[in-house]
Amino acid sequence: MVINDGSLAENIVGSSAYRELLAELVDATGIEVESEYAEVFARLDSTKIVKAKVDVDDLMFILTSQMDLIKRYSLSKFQALSDEEDDQEYPVGAEPSGDERSKTLSVGKYSQGFLLTNLIEFALAMSGHECLLEYIKLCRIPHAKKYTDQIIKLTGLG
């Protein structure tokens, strides 16, 4: 399911609070983010909002009232994903050099909507484990239970 209108996501991503937090995360992590919010990503991100069954106004309230916690969650998630990349197992003799590992982490730019994904996950974690797990399953994320447990742990809401 992908909706044809990206306005749900665009309303959040275009807000001053979202842009402020996005800039802080970019500064803290050094990641590169696309300068434009492509329509295709806006539609995909709007679909996530619909699947999550969360109201845009509720997401905006959580964004503005819990900004520090969302920032902390986003940084923790970024670090956890970076650590997973570093911990990958490679066959003997096929391990990338330190220089090649850095390239793996820096290929491409993030969509402006990456923070929206974190915001949705945080909002659902606030609603409880089962709400978050249902959403993760709807998004067809592999190992849904394990990922849900990881999100709950990273948000500090468990």
Q: Distance between CA 114 and CA 106 in Å, rounded? A: 15
Asked whether 59 and 123 are in contact (CB, 8 A), the reply is yes
Could you give the 3-state DSSP secondary structure of residue 80? helix
Is residue 91 scored above 70 in pLDDT? no
Stated pTM of the model: 0.84
Q: Residue 33 pairs with which residues in a beta bridge? A: 110
Taking only the tens place, the pLDDT of each residue in 42-84 is 999 999 999 999 999 999 999 999 999 999 999 999 999 887 6
In this model, does residue 2 exceed pLDDT 70?
no
Read off the pLDDT band of 132 (50, 70, 90): very high
Report the amino acid identity of residue 69: L
Which regions of the chain does DSSP assign to beta strands (E)? none
In this prediction, residue 65 carries a pLDDT of: 98
pLDDT tier at 96 (50, 70, 90 boundaries)? Answer: low
Q: Which residue has the higher pLDDT, 95 or 120?
A: 120
The pLDDT assigned to 79 comes to 94
Q: What are the tens digits of pLDDT across the range 12-35?
A: 999 999 999 999 999 999 999 999
* Distances in whole angstroms, Cα of residue 29 to Cα of each of 80, 81, 120, 138, 146: 12, 12, 20, 29, 25
pLDDT of residue 102: 47
With residue 12 as reference, give the H or E element that holds it. helix 7-13
**pLDDT digit string (tens) for 97-115?**
655 554 444 458 999 999 9
pLDDT at 82: 82
